[in-house]
Structure 1
Amino acid sequence: MAKPKYGRHLPAFILLFLTRGSSYGSALLNLMKDEMPFNSSDGPGVYRALNELERVEAVIAQWDTSAKGAAKKCYTITDKGMMLLSEFKKELEQLQKNMEFFLSEFENIEDQEETR
């Protein structure tokens, strides 16, 4: 994937939410705002990420014209998207280990300063 103009792991969260079932971009954004403890995503970022995921065939989109009003694009994760989600999982596990190391080391520094 090219360098994104949104949060680095936003596509991972989009794919994660799409494993629950097909969804619209606005519904995904609302889920992230409701369920994620720290979410700075906005609508344009979500749609840029969805467009990129669609471009790399991690999701497919279909227009839903069943409701009154404007048609909505509904996104579904693909097998390629599931593989990408697994890659994100491995990356996030490594990041988590690095963050745990950082926090542990920082705590040691704080402990040393308190004993001085």
Structure 2
Amino acid sequence: MSGKSKKSQVYRYTPAFILLFLSRENLYGAALFNRMHSEIPFCHADGAVVYRTLQELEEVGAVKSYWETGISGPAKKWYQITGQGLELLAKFAEDIDKSKKNLEFFLAAYKQKTGQL
């Protein structure tokens, strides 16, 4: 098996997904979490992972945040992708495309060998 823990494998692309969703629109944390779970077919990230990743992305300048107070309810911390975040998103897209090609090769070879998938 791989030397990576299952946890690190599950969350490998969490920053990429967060940047993708923020490239569409600014979102506050809970809205981002809900969007990820409703749109990503096999999303395993919990709220702590999403917020920790947002904090890490903010520390490296890929996202910035601002507080907004509404007429009702508590203030919300909104997140916005930056130019640096868009560059990082493009790098993630290249990496994911390469991984996809490797996985497609694996599945085709496995299906050819076993007749199953």
Query: TM (normalized to structure 1)?
Result: 0.86
Which residues of 2 match residues 48-67 of structure 1 at below 5 A? 48-67=52-71
> 1:63 Cα deviation (Å)?
1.2
What letter is aligned with 1:85? L
What letter is aligned with 2:74? A
What letter is aligned with 2:108? S
**CA separation in 2, counterparts of 1:23 and 1:67?**
18
Aligned counterpart for 1:40 among listed residues 38, 41, 44: 44
What letter is aligned with 1:77? I
Structure 2 gap segments, 5+ residues each: 1-6
**CA separation in 2, counterparts of 1:8 and 1:67?**
38
State the partner residue of 2:113.
109
**CA separation in 1, counterparts of 2:71 and 2:49?**
25
**CA separation in 1, counterparts of 2:107 and 2:44?**
22
| Pair 1:71 & 2:75 matched | yes
Matched positions, count: 109
Larger radius of gyration: 1
Query: TM (normalized to structure 2)?
Result: 0.86
The percent of aligned pairs where both chains have the same amino acid is 46
Structure 1 gap segments, 5+ residues each: none
